[in-house]
Each structure stands twice: as structure tokens, then as C-alpha cells.
Structure 1
Amino acid sequence: MEKKTHDSAQRVARGARSVTVAVIISRLLGLVREQVLAALFGATSQMDAFVVAYRIPNLLRDLFAEGALGMAFTKVFSHYREKEGTERAFKVASEALTTFGLLVLLVVILGEILAPQIVGLLAPDFKNFVGKFELTVLLTRIMSPFLFFISLAAVLAGMLNSLGVFFWPAFSSALFNATSILVGLVLYFLFRFLGYPGVIGMALGVLLGGAMQAAFNWPFLRAKGFRFSPVLAPRSPAVREILKLMGPSVIGLSAVQINIFLNTYFATSCGEGAVSWLAYAFRLMYVPLGLFGVGLSLALLPEASRQAARNDIELLKNTYVSSLLVGLSLSLPSAVGLAILAKPIVRLIFEHGQFSPEDTLNTAQALSLFALGLPAYGISKVTVPVFYALGNTLIPALGSFLAVGLNLTVVLLTLPYLNFKAVALGTAVALLGQAIFLMGFFCYKVKGLPFKKFFLGFLKLLIEAGVMGGLAFLLKEKLPVLLSILLCGMFFLAEVKLLGPEEGLLFWKIKLMKRSR
């Protein structure tokens, strides 16, 4: 059992590594995109409008892309491939692509029609600023079709992950960022020349970037033998199974969207620039999420689905705990580093052009609070795929509603004192409560976990991250921030090498291994 657990953990870590290399490229390009936006717009009305308009298709993106549809499809596709072979799984993919593609197109059309009403609900205070509400509506209509492209990309990526291909689908998001930057900049200057707001060009860049991301995955699937053939089959067993898995997830993810809605609503009421400061801070927190959350989640779901299909629950439990420790070995030091070095990081990346020192201070304060929830987010990203593998999507849904309640409570209690920072604090507390809830129910469902292994590993990582944080504090004003980050990272890895746990280094070990079948 121990050898199986170790091999399984290494497969997950290897898959996560493959994803992470690509995601790091994407996150770096994403930061470049945010740098461009910060330099061009700072924390102005145009940037606030862009953030809210971009957030609207992203509210549904979590349902139809990385969230309910993507995870449910990957689970069903992996199951059919394990039980009935690749050819049958490809047929299931054609049915799902046709059926859900039409559904998403319908949602996009409704979004175009109802854009004023949606913006009115999400950011009513924008009506108090001349032209801000109308600009947000226009940008929303431009970027709404992005939902279709990103949903298609998520399904295609799920297929490739199940077939053992992790790097290229993750790299497609880098193409999205590169396209949105290059096309956006060209169109920015074109629209400025024509007398229109330059932010319209950046919105069109997002749309074309989404199309590029979806198109990039097709050649890799063709190389694996997949040939798409339109099959509208809403009553097929596979489509019905995906819908069955999606049902509770849609309810749960709707809670996530309520959280985002509430955060946006409160942020828009905190004055000019608040929406932008929170968006910039969350983008920075999103970089380390790519180091562990995205990679581990995508790599763990196919592995856990195979183990669940074989009913090997003991191996699944051990794989889960090992994956948690791998994730925490990345998220804990990242959280400590972001919290302590927030101001110099923000200054280095964003304080150019229209982005002022005041913007740096406000963004850094939000980032320090967001970072508190980073380890909890990592735990949830590892736990939710295991529930999906077991065919249980109700518990993640309930966890999402718990997060809504915690977030709303914290924001309402602290908003008069913390202003926009209350949103960041509410998010962190909500993530922590959700993670504890999910871990507790998973332990109950599988009748216990190897807790000694988990708590001993967690305690070591917590102490090691704390010691590293002391070093970061000492170096903060003495060295350039990039050098401080590098030295702290090397110091933390040396601690893990010396004291353990073993899983803390699995992510960084590059070994040639046979792929699991």
C-alpha cells in the first residue's frame, strides 16, 4: 500500500508539475497584462469598468468552464475511458461538446440582451459617475462571447488531462494572455486614435484571446485520435450523468458567484479605485495559485477518478493526504511571503505610468489580507476533485454556501472600519471555513484519514514557513524583492530537505516515470 501511495502521489505531482510549468508562463504573462492595464489606466473609471465587465462572463466561467462542467466532464470521460475504452469516451465527448456548446451559446445570447440589467445589479453605484455605467455595459457585451470559448477550452483540456496530456492544455492559457496583450495594445492605440476609449481595445483582446485558447487544444486531440462529430444527445446516459454531477455543483458554484457578486457590490460602494485595487491584489495572489492549486486539482481528478472506479478507497485516502501536503508545501510559504513582502512586490510590478504610490499602498494592504486565505484555497482545490471522483458534488456545494455566509458576515461587520479591505478579509475567512468544512466531511465519508501523517507533515511545514517568514521580514528593506523571494524560497526548500515531510519535495523532483494507464 505504501508503494502504491507513493507512486500515486508521484503521478499526481508529476502531472501537477507539467501543468505548473505551463501555468507559470501563463501567470507571468497574466502579470504582464495587468502591468499593461495598470500603466495605461491605473485605478481609474475605465479600469473599474473593465474589471466589472470582465468579471461578468467569469461569473459563469466557473460554472461552465473550470467549475461544474469541466470537472463533471473530466470525471465522466475518465470513467468511460477506464471502463469502456477510448473510442467510447471520444463518442461521449462529441455528445457533450454539441449539447453543452449549444447551451452555453444560449447563455451568451441572454448575456448580450440583459447586459444593462446585469451591470445594474452588480455595480449600481457606477451610475453616479458620468459614462461609467454605459462603458461597463458596452465592455460586457464585447466580452460575453468569451464564455463560449473558455468553456470549449475547458472541456478539451479535460479530455487531454484524462489522456495524460497536461502541459499543452495548461499552456493554452498562456496564449490567451499573450493574444489579449498584443491584440489589446494594438487596438488600444487604434481606438484612442479614432476618439474612443482605449479600454475597448483591451476588451476585444480578451475576446480574441479566448478564441485562441480554445483553438490551440484541437491539434493535440486529433493527434490522440479524436474526431469531433456533432451529436445533439441531451438524453444520452453520459450527458445525463454529466448533468447529474453538475446539478449540485451549479448550486454550490452559484454560491461562489454570490460571493463574487457581493464582493463586487461592496467594492463598488467603497469609492473610485477600490474595485481596481482588489482586482490587482487578487491577480497577484493568483500567481502562486498556479503553482499548486490549478496543477494539483487538474492532475488529481483523473488519478482519483481511476482509484474511485476501482473502489480502492484506502489508496484514494493516502493519495489525498499526500496531495494535501504537496499543496501546503507550496501554499504556506507563498502566503507568508506575499503577506510580508506585499508592498515591495506591488511596487515592483505595478507602480508605473498611471499607477500611483497610493495605489501601491492600497493594493498591498488588500494583498496581505487575501494571502491569509491562500493555504485554505489550496486545500479546497485538492479536496473538491476527490468529492467529484466519488460522485458526490453536494458537499462542495454546501461548503460554498458556508463560505458565502462567512464572507457576508465578516464584510458587514468590518466594512465601516476597513473599507475595501473588508472584502479581502471576508474572502480569506470564507476560504478558511470552507476548507475546514470540506476536509471534515471527506474524513467522515471515507471513515477516517491517516491523520498522524497529515498533522505531523502540516506542523513541520507550518514551522518551516514561519521561520522563512522571519527571514523575509529581515530581508524586506535590505535586498531587492526578487532576490529576497529567491533566497527565502531556497531557504524553505533546505528546511524541508532537512526536516521533511517527503511530500514537500515531491513537486520539485523530476523523474522519468511510466504514465499510469
Structure 2
Amino acid sequence: MFKSIFSNSFGILISRVTGLARDILMTSALGASIWSDVFFMAFKFPNLFRRIFAEGSFTQSFMPSYIASRQKSVFAVAIFIRFMLFIVAFSLIVTLFPEFFTKLLAWDWNADLISKTAPLTTINFWYLDLIFIVTFLGTLLQHKEHFFTTAFSTVWLNIAMIASLMLFAHSDPKTIVYALSFSILVGGLLQVATHLYTMRQKGMLKLLVGGWKYRNDKNVKAEESKFGSLFFPSVLGNSTAQIASFIDTSLASFLAAGSVSYLFYANRIFQLPFAIIALAITTALFPSIAKAIKNENHTLAFQNLNKSFWLLSTLLGISVLGGMLLSEPIVWLLFERGHFTIQDTHNTADVLMMYMIGLVPFGLAKLFSLYLYAMHKHIKAAKIAAASLVVNIIFSLILMKPLGAAGLALAGSIGGAVQMILTIREIGWGIFIEILKTKKIFYFTVGMTLLGIVFYILNQFLINLIR
């Protein structure tokens, strides 16, 4: 299991490092401006659906059903065709009515801003079609406990965007954002090609060929129906953070110019430890837990959960302390250049601190929810997610006026805490207490306290140095 976690984390690390390089170039070229807001708004829409339907709901609904299927290749192809047809049709609708869908995202933007964003929304949305293919193939590879290809593949997206930023570095902002949008599609095609190559290397393409040949087999209809009953509840169960981010972006359009960008840049930093640690661990852990529970080996499932809990808590705890106590030096180092000003650094650092409060709750909610999905409790997970989302929205409306973009980030962290508490309650406080009944809790507390003091002293030194 830990070999899988390492390979997944390493692939994600490379991806996120190139992503940060991309964002550094982007801040230099666009800063926190109207055109950066326009681009992030256009890219937000496909990103929302990518995370809801592709990365979250599909994988955690498909995996248990695929493991249980008696005709895996036929089942897989049948599900792929169903989803692909829906996504292509949706993409065509967005292409025909881009201004309508853009307005859904940016309620308070005027007609001029909507008209600037709508063509970019059309271009960016087709990335969803490509990334669904990537997610489908990646899930099949995960079943074989191969994680690196999917984790690494986002590097191609980042490289394509970096290349466009370098080629059009001296162009006007409008040209840059159009170049970025087309480069996203190029990156998506490269991601698909990488997965097809790995599938071929592992001899798995014949699985798809066989599934296509017998795709109309009536014996898989019941399996398809069961998958459908799991998928739709998991859309909500896996999408709380994405829907909240979508709402935050929309609410930020009511705030001062640059607020959308502050949220984006801070969230990019937040996503680095979340992806490398939380997503890497839970993605690698899920097939093991799903198989153990299917075989009624609950002891093995708990052992894997226990080991992952302490690894996850320690690494995320370090990240929270570093992200909060060193927020301004981190943002300064990564982004303060070109059109990104000192004030932008202060504002982004404030948002980052609020995001980091929710890092551990979001990570633990992700970890413990694996039990719910492995036991096919998708509806229960959906109800928990809905409750946390309502809390998030309420606090967003309350905090956005006094705290601005930072208030929206804090509301998200509060929603994550609610989701964690409700998820642990559902799987049983006994399991959680059993994990904590160890001397590790003492060493964890002392270690985090000492590390917090070190980070605080380091922050004071760096602030004096850079200012």
C-alpha cells in the first residue's frame, strides 16, 4: 500500500511543482487583473464538472461496482459510452450558449465582462471531454494498483500552458488568455495519449476491445443500474469542495477586482499539500479498503485506515503550521513579481491562512469517507456533504462582507470541519477513538507545538528580510 502511496505522491508532486511554475509565469504575465479574473472564471466551469463527475464521483462509484462485476470489460465499456455521450452533448450545449453558462458563474459581471469571458468558456469546456477519458482509463489502472501515470499526467497540461505563456509573454492580455485556453486542450490530448500508451504497455487495451465487442450484453444491465444508483448520490458526496469553490468564485465577483484571483492563487497553494498528501493517500488506499470490505476482512481494512490516519495527520499538520505561519513569505516567493503587487501578496496571504484552517478537516473527511463508499453508503455520504455545503454557503454570505475573499475561504474551512465530524459520526466514534488510543497522540501534540514555535520565529525573520 505504501509503495502505491509513494508513487502516487511522487507523480502528484511533479505535477504540482510544474503547476506552480505555470502559476508563477501567469502571475507575472497577468497579475491579479480583470483578464486574470476572466480566464480563471472561464476555466472554473469545466474544472467544476471535471472534479465532480470525473475525479470524484465517477471513480468512487465505479471502483466498487467494477470490483464486484462478473464481466468487467463489458461493464467498463458500457459505462464509458453512457458517460461520454452525455459529456459530449453537454459540451455542445455550452458551445451553443456560452454567455448563459458564463452568467451562471459570474452573476454580478456586466455585459462587457460576460462577452469577454464567454468565448473562453466555450474553448475551456471541451477539456472536460478529454479529462473524462483520462479519468476512466486512470480508474482501470488504479484497479491494477498503478497510480503514477494518472498522477503524473497533469504535467502535460502544465507544460502546454507554460509553453503558451512563454511564446506569448510579450503579447496583450487578451491574446495570452486565448493562448492559455487552447493550450489546455493540447494538454488534455497529451494526457489521453499518455494513458493509452500505459494501457497498451500493461496489455489492458484488449479489455476495452473485448468490452466493445460485447457492449450490448444484457447480463450487465443490472450492474449498470446498480452503478447508476451509486453514482448520482456520490455526485454530491464527492463534490462539496468543488461546489463550494464554484460558489466562492461567483460570490467573489461581487467583491473588489482581483478577489477571484486571490482565491485562485491561494487555493493553488492549498491544493499542493492536499493533493500530494490527502489525495495521494486516499486514492492509493481506496482499492485496498474496497477489496478488504468486499471480502469481509474488516481487520485489514481498519489496519490500513489506522496507518493512513497517522501518516495523513502528521503530514497535513506540518503543512497547516507552515501554510499559516509562513503564508506571506510563501506568497511573496511564489507570486510577487511583474504585475503582482505587495498588496496582492497581503490579500492572497490572508486568504491562504483561512484555507489552511480546513486542510486537516478536509483530509480526514476524505479518508474516513472511503469506508462509506466502500460499503456502498453513497446516499449517506451525499447527505453529509449536503449538510456541510449548506453550512459553507451560510457562512460565506455572513463572512464575505466583513472579511472579503478571506471570509469565503474561512467559510469553506468551516464546511470542511462539519463534513469531517459528520463522516466520523457515521462510521462510528468508536473507530475514531480506537485510532487515537495510542501514545502517538502525545508525540504528535508535542511535535506540532515545537514545530509551530520554529515556524513562527522563521516567519518573523523572513518578514524582516523581505520587507
TM-score for the superposition, normalised by structure 2? 0.92
Partner of 2:67: 78
Do residues 242 (structure 1) and 227 (structure 2) align?
Answer: yes
Q: 2:318 aligns to what SS in structure 1?
A: helix
Q: How many residues align?
A: 456
Q: 1:316 aligns to what SS in structure 2?
A: helix
Cα contact 2:25–2:165 (8 A) shared by 1: no
CA distance in 1, matches of 2:258, 2:281: 34
Aligned with 1:212 (options 163, 187, 190) = 190
Letter of the aligned partner of 1:101 in structure 2? M
Cα contact 2:249–2:263 (8 A) shared by 1: no
User: What are the equivalent positions in structure 2 for 1:257-268 lying under 5 Å apart?
Assistant: 257-268=242-253
- Percent identity over the alignment is 25
Change (3 A) 1:345 1:189: closer
Aligned-pair CA distance for 1:124: 2.2
Aligned with 2:107 (options 124, 127, 133) = 124
Aligned with 1:35 (options 24, 37, 44) = 24
Aligned with 1:434 (options 406, 419, 432) = 419
CA distance in 1, matches of 2:202, 2:313: 34
1:241-289 C-alpha deviation (Å, 9 max, x unpaired): 3212102112435655542332122111111000000100000011111
Aligned-pair CA distance for 1:157: 0.9
CA distance in 1, matches of 2:306, 2:97: 45
Partner of 2:199: 221
Aligned-pair CA distance for 1:450: 6.1
CA distance in 1, matches of 2:337, 2:235: 40
Change (3 A) 1:167 1:261: closer
Partner of 2:265: 280
Partner of 1:368: 353
Q: 1:67 aligns to what SS in structure 2?
A: helix
Partner of 2:275: 290
Do residues 451 (structure 1) and 433 (structure 2) align?
Answer: yes
Aligned-pair CA distance for 1:412: 2.2
Cα contact 1:335–1:371 (8 A) shared by 2: yes
Cα contact 1:64–1:104 (8 A) shared by 2: no
Cα contact 2:105–2:246 (8 A) shared by 1: yes
Partner of 2:150: 169
Letter of the aligned partner of 2:233 in structure 1? P
Partner of 1:408: 393
User: What are the equivalent positions in structure 2 for 1:391-406 lying under 5 Å apart?
Assistant: 391-406=376-391
Partner of 1:347: 332
Aligned-pair CA distance for 1:334: 0.3
Letter of the aligned partner of 1:27 in structure 2? R
Q: 1:197 aligns to what SS in structure 2?
A: helix
Cα contact 1:79–1:305 (8 A) shared by 2: no
Partner of 1:61: 50
Q: Which runs of 4+ in 1 moved over 6 A?
A: none
CA distance in 2, matches of 1:200, 1:410: 35
Aligned-pair CA distance for 1:479: 5.6
Cα contact 2:79–2:224 (8 A) shared by 1: yes
1:403-455 C-alpha deviation (Å, 9 max, x unpaired): 212112222222231122110110111111111111110117xxx31624325
Aligned-pair CA distance for 1:459: 5.1
Q: 2:436 aligns to what SS in structure 1?
A: helix
Cα contact 1:18–1:166 (8 A) shared by 2: yes
- Is the deviation greater in 213-222 or in 110-119? 110-119
Partner of 1:499: none
Do residues 316 (structure 1) and 294 (structure 2) align?
Answer: no
CA distance in 2, matches of 1:181, 1:236: 45
Aligned with 1:202 (options 170, 173, 180) = 180
1:175-224 C-alpha deviation (Å, 9 max, x unpaired): 221122214543x359x38x953211011111211221122111211222
Letter of the aligned partner of 2:444 in structure 1? L
CA distance in 1, matches of 2:463, 2:156: 30
Aligned-pair CA distance for 1:475: 1.6
Change (3 A) 1:254 1:300: closer
TM-score for the superposition, normalised by structure 1? 0.83
Q: 1:345 aligns to what SS in structure 2?
A: helix
Do residues 113 (structure 1) and 96 (structure 2) align?
Answer: yes
Aligned-pair CA distance for 1:168: 1.9
